[in-house]
Amino acid sequence: MSQVLVLSNPTRTDVDPILGFASDLIIKGEKVTFFSTNEFKAPIENIGADFKAYNQELKIFNKEEYLNDEKPKSGLISALLEPMKFIDDIVVQIRGLKFDYAVFSPSYPYANIITQLLGISRTQQMISN
C-alpha cells in the first residue's frame, strides 16, 4: 500500500476529476491524504481519504485579496508572490507522514517545490472535459 499526497486547487474543475482519481487509488488499496478547502471536506472524506485543509488565513484561493491596501489581487497571484507561507503550512501539517508519491492537478502552483522538499515523485492528473 502506497501513501499518496493529493494536491489540488480548491475549485470544482480541479477537485472533481482528481477526486475520482483519488477514489480509484483508494479502491486499489492506496492511502490518500488530500489537501483542499473546507468546502470539499465532505466529498473527500466520503471517498475514504484523509482530509487536510489549506490554511484559511492565507486566503490564497480567494477571488480577491488586498495586498498593502492596494487594488484587489487574485489569491493565486498573492500565493505566487509569497509561496513559502503556503508551502510551509502544508509541510507543517504533514510533518511525520511519509508519502510515496504525489498527485496534483495541472494548475497546482507548488507541486514541484513540495515534492522536491519531500523527496517524492509526482504524477500530474490530466483533467479532460
Q: Which of 56, 55, 79 is nearest to 67 (CA)?
A: 79
Pairing outcome for strands 121-124 and 101-104: parallel
Q: What pLDDT tens digit does each residue of the chain (129 aa) get?
A: 899 999 988 888 889 999 999 999 999 999 999 999 999 999 999 999 999 998 765 555 554 443 444 544 455 565 566 778 788 889 999 999 999 999 988 888 888 889 998 999 877 655 444
Q: What cell does 117 get?
A: 522538499
Q: Which architecture, in CATH terms, is 3-124?
A: 3-Layer(aba) Sandwich (3.40)
Can you give the residue ranges of every domain in the chain?
A: 3-124
* 0.85 exceeded by pTM: no
Beta bridge partners of 73: 65
d(CA 34, CA 11): 14
